[in-house]
Amino acid sequence: MGCVISPLTFTLFFRAFDDIGNPDGYWKAPYALMFRNMAILGVRGVSALPAHCLELSVGFFAFAVATNVARDFFDAAQQVQEMDSAEAELLVPAVASGFICGDGIWIFPSSLLALAKVKPPICMKFSPGS
């Protein structure tokens, strides 16, 4: 399904919005910038990273490992997990689907409205500063 729907949606999206990928436009294409930066990092190495980025990454990685080790070895963390774990497990797929699909669901109707030159009745963009 994705091999058919994805190109059709992209074509619709590309025809509807003329500023795709413009850093100052409404549709900035942040993943394109991310992939470009990863390519630059691959060519130039860690020297292309901003100042102290590598140190911060190592520090946060160590913090995450220490937090997980502490959670596994201390009994108090296990008691907190066992309080409502059965109910929480039921909600995990619904919450994850909401996060994944939240902004993406509006892209298709927004593209159709833009092709018809109709301004949506309400703002449906979920991003900072919109």
The fraction of the chain above a pLDDT of 70, given in percent, is 76
On whether the CB atoms of residues 124 and 110 are closer than 8 A, the answer is yes
Backbone phi and psi for residue 77, each to the nearest 5 degrees, phi listed first: -65, -35
The pTM is what?
0.38
- Judge whether residue 105 has pLDDT over 80: no
Looking at per-residue pLDDT, the higher value among 63 and 78 belongs to 63
Give tens-digit pLDDT for 26-70: 777 777 777 777 778 888 888 888 888 889 999 999 999 998 888
Mean pLDDT for the stretch of residues 73-85:
63
Quote the pLDDT of residue 59.
95
Quote the pLDDT of residue 6.
77
Give tens-digit pLDDT for 113-129: 778 887 766 665 555 55
Domain ranges of the chain: 1-49
CA 91/CA 31 separation, integer angstroms = 29
Write out the chain in H/E/C secondary structure: CHHHHHHHHHHHHHHHCCCCCCCCCCCCCHHHHHHHHHHHHHHHHHHHCCCCHHHHHHHHHHHHHHHHHHHHHCHHHHHHHHCCHHHHHHHHHHHHHHHHHCCHHHHHHHHHHHHCCCCCCCCCCCCCCC
Map tokens 């500063």 to a residue: 129
